[in-house]
């Protein structure tokens, strides 16, 4: 069955197993890039598109590598890596227990994984919620006047023009904390509810340094029991950028009735299946259909 996948898809499948959900210990990129993945941020997705592999971090930074014919991503254990000639790797990502290195790349690029319409360079940045001096009322105003009334609250939390400082891990945790349905339309929240959400986000972000070791309620806990209601934590993909989203369908029910139909749970990962495995099986299924 593995043979049904092309070489890029197979490499992406191995990278998913090695990297997804891990904290980044170091990243070395041999060429100048506009954005560098942050040390400590969580690797969230690995995508295969033609001969390109994209690695996506929790804060939305995407590393795109276009592979040459003999180019490849390879995974090494630390001991194996010591023996390897490291000089020729163009990208080296170190996470706990292993190293992913890329050889023979035609193009390397980094960018922010947001809908181009929402690219931070195209509009003014919203308030930074991790800054204690930030204007929370401005953020509330930006939410209430959001131009796309059908947009979901989960999408708006990552829109840099409305607020900054929220990475994807934090987004999932915040929605859970506020018991908000991730698909709730942003236009269904009134001023008090927007203010509550923004205030809780700012408070949590600003105290994050003191609570870095806190355990996560939903992120990465697919198939496990919700700490609040004992329901099952689910994972899906959501929004224009198709970011991974963990949530509890049993207790995150506020504004559930207003759910935007744009991104229904068509990609919902079945319970008991690891997200990386689900993507792998989906790619196999597509390869089988097209072959
Ligand atoms: Zn729950």
If you measure from the C-alpha of residue 170 to the centroid of ligand 1, how many angstroms do you get, rounded to a whole number?
17
Q: Is 240 exposed, middle or buried (0-12, 13-18, 19+ CB in 10 A)?
A: middle
Residue 259 C-alpha to ligand 1 middle, in angstroms? Answer: 18
CA distance 278 to 263: 18
Asked if 247 and 152 touch (Cβ cutoff 8 Å), the reply is no
- Three-state DSSP at 193 gives helix
- d(CA 122, ligand 1 centre) in Å: 37
154 neighbors 260 (Cβ within 8 angstroms): no
Which CATH topology does 116-267 take?
Answer: Helicase, Ruva Protein; domain 3 (1.10.8)
Which two structure tokens, joined as six digits, stand for 268? 């919902």
Q: What is the pLDDT of residue 261?
A: 59
Kindly give the distance from the C-alpha atom of residue 247 to the centroid of ligand 1, in angstroms, as a whole number.
8
Residue 214, pLDDT score: 63
Q: Of 275, 232, 285, which is closest to residue 43 (Cα–Cα)?
A: 275
Which residues of the chain are in CATH 1.10.8.50 domains? 116-267
β-strands 61-77, 52-57 pairing? antiparallel
Between the CA of 172 and the centroid of ligand 1 the distance, in Å, is 13
For residue 144, the CA-to-ligand 1 centroid distance in Å is 27
The verdict on pTM exceeding 0.75 is no
Question: Could you give the residue ranges of the DSSP H alpha helices within 130-241?
Answer: 136-144, 153-156, 168-177, 191-206
Ion ligand 1 residue ranges (Cβ < 5 Å): 226, 228-229, 231, 248, 250-251
> Where do the CATH 3.20.190.10 domains begin and end in the chain?
2-113
Give the pLDDT of the chain (291 residues) as one tens digit per residue: 455 678 888 999 999 999 998 999 999 998 888 788 889 889 988 988 888 899 999 888 899 998 888 889 999 998 888 887 666 889 999 999 999 999 988 788 888 776 444 444 456 778 889 888 999 999 999 999 998 888 899 989 988 889 988 888 889 999 999 999 998 999 999 999 999 999 999 998 888 654 455 678 998 888 899 999 999 998 887 776 667 889 998 999 999 877 665 655 544 565 556 656 666 666 667 777 765
pLDDT of the residue at 210: 46
Nearest residue to 177 (alpha-carbon basis) of 200, 198, 160, 156? 200
CA 176–ligand 1 middle distance (angstroms): 8
Please tell me the CATH superfamily of domain 2-113, with its number.
MutM-like, N-terminal (3.20.190.10)
Residue-wise DSSP of 33-64: -S--PPTTPBEEEEEEETTEEEEEETTSEEEE
- CA of 55 from ligand 1 middle (Å) equals 30
What is the 230 CA–ligand 1 centroid distance (Å)?
Answer: 6
Q: Which of 40, 48, 46 is nearest to 19 (CA)?
A: 46
Ligand 1 centre from 15 Cα, in Å? 30
Give the Cα separation of 125 and 112 in Å (integer).
14
pLDDT of amino acid 148:
87
Whole-number pLDDT of residue 208: 66
| Secondary structure of residue 58 in the 3-state scheme | coil
Looking at residue 220, its pLDDT comes to: 86
């Amino acid at each position: 069955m593995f043979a049904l996948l092309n070489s890029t898809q197979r490499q992406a499948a191995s990278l998913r197993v090695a990297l997804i959900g891990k904290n980044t210990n170091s990243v070395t990129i041999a060429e100048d890039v506009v954005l560098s993945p942050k040390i400590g941020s969580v690797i969230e997705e690995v995508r295969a598109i033609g001969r390109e592999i994209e690695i996506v971090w929790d804060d939305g930074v995407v590393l795109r590598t276009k592979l040459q014919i003999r180019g490849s991503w390879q995974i090494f254990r630390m001991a194996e890596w010591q023996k390897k000639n490291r000089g020729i790797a163009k990208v080296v990502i170190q996470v706990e227990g292993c190293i992913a290195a890329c050889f023979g790349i035609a193009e390397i690029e980094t960018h922010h994984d947001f809908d181009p319409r929402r690219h931070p360079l195209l509009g003014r940045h919203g308030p930074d919620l991790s800054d204690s001096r930030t204007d929370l009322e401005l953020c509330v105003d930006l939410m209430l006047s959001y131009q796309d009334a059908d947009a979901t609250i989960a999408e708006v939390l990552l829109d840099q023009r409305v607020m900054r400082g929220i990475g994807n891990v934090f987004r999932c945790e915040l929605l859970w904390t506020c018991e908000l349905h991730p698909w709730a339309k942003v236009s269904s929240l009134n001023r008090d509810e927007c203010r509550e959400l923004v205030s809780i986000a700012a408070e949590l972000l600003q105290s994050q340094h003191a609570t870095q070791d806190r355990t996560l309620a939903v992120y990465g806990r697919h198939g496990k029991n919700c700490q609040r209601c004992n329901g099952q934590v689910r994972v899906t993909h959501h929004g224009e950028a198709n970011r991974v989203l963990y949530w509890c369908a049993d207790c995150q029910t506020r504004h559930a009735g207003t759910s935007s139909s744009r991104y229904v749970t068509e990609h919902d990962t079945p319970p008991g299946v690891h997200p990386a495995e689900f993507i792998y099986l989906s790619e196999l299924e597509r390869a089988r259909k097209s072959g």
